[in-house]
Structure 1
């Protein structure tokens, strides 16, 4: 498939709002790909070159891309529209520049000319480098057609463009920025306007097509069957090895006796069942070096409720740190660490290499909570101190002042054997053999736990953890298998003292969707309040069950000056000229500026109330900032369903009072 054909499909996806329509379009695209194009196209659809767990960034600043577009414009004899035309076109397109921070300034090296200033001004009016690139390329195409009465002959395929993008991202060292610029310029000259637009959006990390990994799984099933019957089995496979490209290739390669279906392409089987798919995906298993999707906790507020749902449990202290998944390949001599958001952070924690090197195994995958500690006293530090370890610069100095200690609580693989389908009781036994007390170090320790079926014993254990300054306990069903997310009653957390009323029993992780301009004193911050959202994944409301972000509260009162400044710095990096497609916000709540999804805040509130205003159908009463969750991606924010569970829990507690 040519990149032009892919770009046309991306443009169609971008303009489609209905979830089912997006799924159907993706299914058609997947069926049109050659086998060697499937993996890379799945990554490109998510605006990436590699799976999420492999860090590869373009490292191209906006100013450098602007300079590249000036060079492109000069070569193509491009002249931006007049200022009057610019203003009219912007108004017609409904475009508006962000008012949140100063407009980007165009810095051109020696030899600044009028064209550079005009291109910079054009960008400030459009607010989208991709659209500007397409406009420049359209001028080139029109010029070429006038001269030769035919379109440019270059039409690279997907793999060719992908390899060029990889080359741009991998250039490093002295003079790398100039090399990146020249490679990007050469690629843009090969592409048509639509293809160039999407390449620039990928380079800038702005490719937002309005669907999630879960939608891609639906599309895979639709590509085979014309429905989403295989969604569950695909999701289970992805949980074991979180690489959508590899999963798509394995699934679509399955020979199920396919036959032509005009609606969904040429590779559709309407008769194959889940048994055949299960056999085809049998080899798609847990793999050392590829993250397992992490298991997460449900919420309950009393020991009695927990034991009623899970008669035999393991209770563990709940540390307030960074969730890390540790992959050890001791035969190959490496240790890797991944966050719950699947980001590889190995380089940020150099002590892990030595800390896990002594384990008596060939390889393993461990689940752990990493907390900072005082190197002089050994005392555990706060989350705010621990999160300072998540950095790219001055790593060694920070590792010396805030070393981390990994409390290991689960074992998902051992010596090339997947353990995720084994009961927790068995996994605990294997972990005890792998990491006995004699093998513990300052860096690596096994999480202590209590096994019980007695509510009073569980209650006392919970109170003990609160008494020593921890967040409470995590309670796990003793015979539960390891499954990602919060489905089923396998893991439950209690963070507050039991029976607490007058405020929510747990905090809420919200996505910052936009901002409102400040008034009075807040004009110095450029913002007066933030619009918060949560995830809506109810299939009845989102067609195919794809995720949307719906408004739930405004956050403004109660923030200190320092918190306003912190949030502004974070939000400055995520400004969007237009409303992201996955946002659902009533007209009455439209913010003054939009942010791309990415900034997650942990919010406390007094209660959840029914709301006719917010898109979530509920709202938070007296929301207040607890902390910025730099360790979480927006896909891991609280869901509407979880809010409703919290609301029910709140009602039960108030009824008891």
Structure 2
């Protein structure tokens, strides 16, 4: 597929407001994409180069892109800046400046390709190379590399490519719409959406799903399983108003402390792990795109599937001691006072969310990880295993393989079996005394429903309250200018103070 064909679909999508119409347009685009292109097409449609958990970003702000445009089209930074302030969209700036560039437009999109149209895979590879530039002089190399790419693009392609590095593509759909489009591509309707979503929940990489589906249709995705290095969309909890409702809904259940910290999914990948499955190899190859993470044993992912390994050095260090081939654990990390060992409120724990100065803040606010679920062990998925059996395997893992783990940093969440409302309320009171925010009530025989919010898990945070305990009073402090599709509104988002 040529880059011109791809961006012509982007132009069509930008003018489409109906979600169903978008799905049809996307289905046509995905249908035209080859199996070698479709993963890259999906990433670019979302304004990315890789799955979100890969964490590969351009690190190019609007000012850098203004320099790129000026260099590509023989303009000056002041002129480009002036036009950008008027238009509020780098794509519109390019559309205005490119025809004025001192070069034959007949060569646009064909330079260095001997008359052959520029392919989307070629553009993707160049974008990835630019994003992976690092070290001394990387900013200058990125600006030069992107300006050279712009010179080779047709006007429409340039308009959309300059929006990607600054996160301004904003076509108005998400990964879930792409799942609908894949179903529509194959069936002409959304009948395969559930099958596709189930696969995505277990392997949250839209490019991997699209590629497997393109190659072998439904057979390509039904065999996808939990894979260390590719995050699983976390199970989420519902709410019920009273202890009586919870017991009536779940029956005899398990109560665990409700921790107010970071949801942390830990992936352990031993360097000694022997990979025999060809499918597993394919997934690991996808995970190691750009060779940014291939040498790491422990990966940590957030609730929103971001790679947050760098934020938790003490947890990573402890799990390197766990004597397993591979494993995926679900749990929560919460800060504690190193002098008293008492848990800290979320307002203090959240200070650990940063990119710099991590060693210093880790000394001030150490974290304790409470594992409450085991999703995979040594290549075997436990997602379809009942919770009480998963919990038993988790306890056995820590008992047999985790003797070197420091319990101050890594431990198992405590749990109690409850069968009456009175017992449930008693556990709630005890959790509050221990400094927790309430309890999680879990159905013992339930499987782990990745990506779902259902009544297999129920939050019990406020006695007798099944909704927000209070409203928030906010003061509007400012706003962000609308970009992409939001440029016509003027305002993209509000900045508020609580």
Q: Distance in 1 between matches of 2:63 and 2:307?
A: 27
Specify which of 278, 300, 309 is matched with residue 249 of structure 2: 309
**Taking structure 2 as the reference length, what is the TM-score of the superposition?**
0.88
Q: Distance in 1 between matches of 2:109 and 2:50?
A: 30
Report SS of the residue matched to 1:488: strand
- Hey, what does 1:282 align to over in structure 2? 222
**Gaps in structure 2 of 5+ consecutive residues:** 112-116, 273-295
Q: Distance in 1 between matches of 2:168 and 2:361?
A: 32
- Hey, what does 1:56 align to over in structure 2? 56
Alignment of 1:478 with 2:444, yes or no, is yes
CA shift for structure 1 position 283: 2.5
Q: Distance in 2 between matches of 1:116 and 1:246?
A: 40
Report SS of the residue matched to 2:372: strand
Alignment of 1:492 with 2:449, yes or no, is no
- Hey, what does 1:144 align to over in structure 2? 104
Taking the TM superposition and a 5 Å limit, the aligned residue runs for 1:551-562 are 557=473, 559=475
- Hey, what does 2:28 align to over in structure 1? 28
Specify which of 182, 187, 200 is matched with residue 238 of structure 1: 200
Say if 2:332 and 2:371, in contact at 8 Å, map to a contact too.
yes
Q: Distance in 1 between matches of 2:149 and 2:307?
A: 29
Specify which of 179, 182, 189 is matched with residue 220 of structure 1: 182
Q: How many equivalent pairs are there? A: 467
- Deviations 1:59-93 (CA, angstroms, capped at 9, x unpaired): 1122121122222232xxx6xxxxxxxxxxxxxxx
- Hey, what does 1:594 align to over in structure 2? 492
Q: Distance in 2 between matches of 1:245 and 1:69?
A: 29
Provide the aligned C-alpha RMSD in A. 2.4
Q: Distance in 2 between matches of 1:144 and 1:592?
A: 35
- Hey, what does 1:435 align to over in structure 2? 398
Alignment of 1:330 with 2:270, yes or no, is yes
Q: Distance in 1 between matches of 2:176 and 2:37?
A: 20
Specify which of 96, 106, 114 is matched with residue 135 of structure 1: 96
Q: Distance in 2 between matches of 1:340 and 1:18?
A: 29
Say if 1:311 and 1:453, in contact at 8 Å, map to a contact too.
yes
Alignment of 1:319 with 2:259, yes or no, is yes
- Deviations 1:390-434 (CA, angstroms, capped at 9, x unpaired): 111111111111111101100100110010111101100000101
Q: Which has more radius of gyration?
A: 1
CA shift for structure 1 position 578: 6.4
Q: Distance in 2 between matches of 1:493 and 1:406?
A: 19
**Gaps in structure 1 of 5+ consecutive residues:** 79-114, 256-276, 509-552, 582-589, 602-623, 626-657
- Deviations 1:506-563 (CA, angstroms, capped at 9, x unpaired): 369xxxxxxxxxxxxxxxxxxxxxxxxxxxxxxxxxxxxxxxxxxxx9x7x465xxxx
TM-aligned CA distance change 1:151 to 1:409, over 3 Å: closer
Q: Distance in 1 between matches of 2:85 and 2:34?
A: 40
CA shift for structure 1 position 176: 0.8
TM-aligned CA distance change 1:329 to 1:151, over 3 Å: closer
- Hey, what does 1:299 align to over in structure 2? 239
Taking the TM superposition and a 5 Å limit, the aligned residue runs for 1:77-92 are none
- Hey, what does 2:283 align to over in structure 1? none
TM-aligned CA distance change 1:11 to 1:462, over 3 Å: same
